[in-house]
Amino acid sequence: MRGQPSILHLDMDAFYASVEQAAKPSLRGKPVIVGGLGPRGVVATASYEARRFGVHSAMPMGQARRLSPHAACLVPRFGVYRKISERVMALLAELSPLVEPLSLDEAFVDLAAGPAPPASSAAARRAGEELRARIRAATGLTGSVGLAGSKMLAKIASEQAKPDGLVLIEPGTERELLAPMPVRTLPGVGPATAETLRRAGLSTVGEAAEAGEAELLRLLGKAHGHAVYAMALGLDDRAVVADRDAKSISVEDTFDTDVTDRARVRFEVARLADRCVGRLRSAGRSGRTVVLKVRRYDFTTLTRSETLRGPTDDPVVIAEAAGRLLDGVDTTEGVRLLGVGVSGLADFTQEDLFAQAAPPEPAPGAPVAVAAEAPVERRWLPGLDVTHARHGPGWIQGSGVGRVTVRFERPDSPPGRARTFRLDDPELSHSDPLPLVTHADAEADAGTAQAG
């Protein structure tokens, strides 16, 4: 544990949904749900307005629609989220060379390793507030910051700061702060461990600490019991580790209840693959071996890997490889944890990305099948960017029965008007997303933040 709150944890607020609200003025202040829209779709992120109705990530989209029937349900735009994440991570890198991204919207920063290490709690708070102001200036979005003497407490602080706030935990106050919190607050305490502790009468962190190390070792085993006891006392010496020094990059999620639905498992693997690519790109790396980790209902853990022809950071290639690995794993009895990782890291990317999954070359003289060219179908999915030859840029609000409805507005405009067109309208086409913040606005806001 450090004597100064020099570890910072940043967590962007409802990241995907907040990006959509910033890009679409008509959705600001209204419930927004981002995720899969099909019959087996799952919520990726919900805005705070939607969360008030009980909507949360990993919930089936059908259930989310019933809880918040007036919410805007949009497909994810991962390319947009990734670019914004890169800008945020670049701002963190200016604070310190030790930045540990956890996902597109979350990272630890070791301020003590930076050019201006904070000598006091007040200095650490100033650094956190300046970071929040710079992120808002650069992206138009808000992030919550936690500051503490350890990674565990910094993450707890950022949770307390949400949304759009900053919480600093003074060294020496850790045990008093942790005591009333549920044991699930501690890293590594999932539903099964929490239930074991609850049956023993230990529901809060304070109760776990008072039970003593010997009792936790008896309940949880040597390694896990020792770690839980140390963290219940507020002790956490884990270092902030930059991804450039890692031999592999991975992400994983533990589910509150076992996942048995195969479509949901596939969605989660695809989502984890995208998060893994986000960390890969934030670190400026590529990788050659894709790894899938599956922990089943009975705690057995399976690991499968596939080595590609060359290193890549292409999200399609990595997601497809993870999907192929999943095909060989039986998940019918339930999955507790899923993880996707990339190893064999390199500082360059295979140029011929599509060759990774290419079929073998036909033998000389073998007949070559020529497929008839099929017409390209334009899919008008809610939330995607479009432009109209006469009305300009907008986004798809919905489609069906041969029609598509588009709301024409820009991130810097008032809420726009919705218009409906035929699906085959020749003047309507998909387009690149507009920036949330213009260069001039970002410079002006940055100057104001510095002056403040």
Q: Could you report the per-residue pLDDT of 309-319, keeping only the tens digit for each?
A: 888 888 889 99
Six-digit token pair at 290?
A: 């894709």
Say if residue 206's pLDDT is above 50. yes
Q: Which residue has the higher pLDDT, 437 or 132?
A: 132
Say if residue 408's pLDDT is above 70. yes
Say if residue 160's pLDDT is above 70. yes
Q: What is the pLDDT of residue 374?
A: 38
Q: Name the burial class of residue 162, with classes exposed (0-12), middle (13-18) and buried (19+) by CB atoms within 10 angstroms of its CB.
A: middle
Compute CA 322 distance to the chain's CA centroid, rounded to the nearest angstrom. 18
Six-digit token pair at 291?
A: 């790894």
Q: What is the pLDDT of residue 52?
A: 96
Angle at 17 between CA 14 and CA 22, to 5 degrees: 110
pTM listed for this prediction? 0.71
CB-based contact 10:107 (threshold 8 Å) = yes
Query: What is the four-CA torsion angle of 36, 100, 341, 138, rounded to 10 degrees?
Result: 40
The closest of 90, 109, 111, 88 to 100, measured between CA atoms, is 109
Distance from C-alpha of 446 to C-alpha of 63, rounded to nearest angstrom: 41
Q: pLDDT band for 411, please (50, 70, 90 cuts).
A: very high
Question: pLDDT tens, 412-424?
Answer: 999 999 999 999 9
Q: What is the pLDDT of residue 430?
A: 94
Q: In the chain, what percentage of residues exceed pLDDT 70?
A: 89
Classified as helix, coil or strand, 140 is: coil
Using alpha carbons, list the distances in angstroms from residue 260 to 72, 269, 278, 334. 28, 13, 27, 4
Q: In the chain, what percentage of residues exceed pLDDT 90?
A: 64
Q: What is the pLDDT of residue 178?
A: 93
Question: pLDDT tens, 89-133?
Answer: 999 999 999 999 988 899 999 999 999 899 999 999 999 999 999
Angle at 117 between CA 112 and CA 120, to 5 degrees: 105
Indicate the pairing of strand 72-74 with strand 32-35: parallel
Residues 263-292, mean pLDDT to the nearest whole number: 89
Q: What is the pLDDT of residue 319?
A: 92
**Residue 106 annotated as catalytic:** yes
Q: Which residues contact 278 (CB under 8 A, 6 or more apart)?
A: 81, 82, 85, 101, 103, 104
Q: pLDDT band for 286, please (50, 70, 90 cuts).
A: confident
Distance from C-alpha of 322 to C-alpha of 302, rounded to nearest angstrom: 13
Annotated active-site residue in 20, 49, 100, 106: 106
Q: pLDDT band for 207, please (50, 70, 90 cuts).
A: very high
Q: Which residue type does 145 have? A: V
Q: What is the pLDDT of residue 352?
A: 34
CB-based contact 433:77 (threshold 8 Å) = yes
Mean of all residue pLDDT scores within the chain: 87
CB-based contact 422:403 (threshold 8 Å) = yes
Six-digit token pair at 131?
A: 């970071």
Query: How many other C-beta atoms are found inside a 10 Å radius of the C-beta of residue 242?
Result: 19
Distance from C-alpha of 292 to C-alpha of 152, rounded to nearest angstrom: 26
Q: What is the pLDDT of residue 355?
A: 34
Query: How many other C-beta atoms are found inside a 10 Å radius of the C-beta of residue 285?
Result: 21
Distance from C-alpha of 151 to C-alpha of 11, rounded to nearest angstrom: 13
The closest of 94, 32, 37 to 68, measured between CA atoms, is 32
Q: pLDDT band for 444, please (50, 70, 90 cuts).
A: low
Q: Which residue type does 158 have? A: S
Angle at 282 between CA 279 and CA 286, to 5 degrees: 75
Q: What is the pLDDT of residue 74?
A: 95
Indicate the pairing of strand 385-388 with strand 335-346: unpaired
Six-digit token pair at 285?
A: 């790396």
Q: What is the pLDDT of residue 49?
A: 97
Q: pLDDT band for 446, please (50, 70, 90 cuts).
A: low
Q: What is the pLDDT of residue 449?
A: 54
Six-digit token pair at 71?
A: 């919410």
Residue 59 backbone phi and psi in degrees, to 5? -80, 140
The end-to-end CA distance of the chain, in Å, is 32
Q: What is the pLDDT of residue 357?
A: 38
Say if residue 358's pLDDT is above 60. no
Q: pLDDT band for 347, please (50, 70, 90 cuts).
A: low
Question: pLDDT tens, 237-262?
Answer: 889 988 545 578 889 888 878 899 99
Say if residue 443's pLDDT is above 60. no
Q: What is the pLDDT of residue 255?
A: 83
Say if residue 204's pLDDT is above 80. yes
* Cis preceding linkage at 5, omega within 30: no
Indicate the pairing of strand 403-408 with strand 392-400: antiparallel
Residues 43-69, mean pLDDT to the nearest whole number: 93
Six-digit token pair at 220?
A: 């949880």
Q: pLDDT band for 217, please (50, 70, 90 cuts).
A: very high
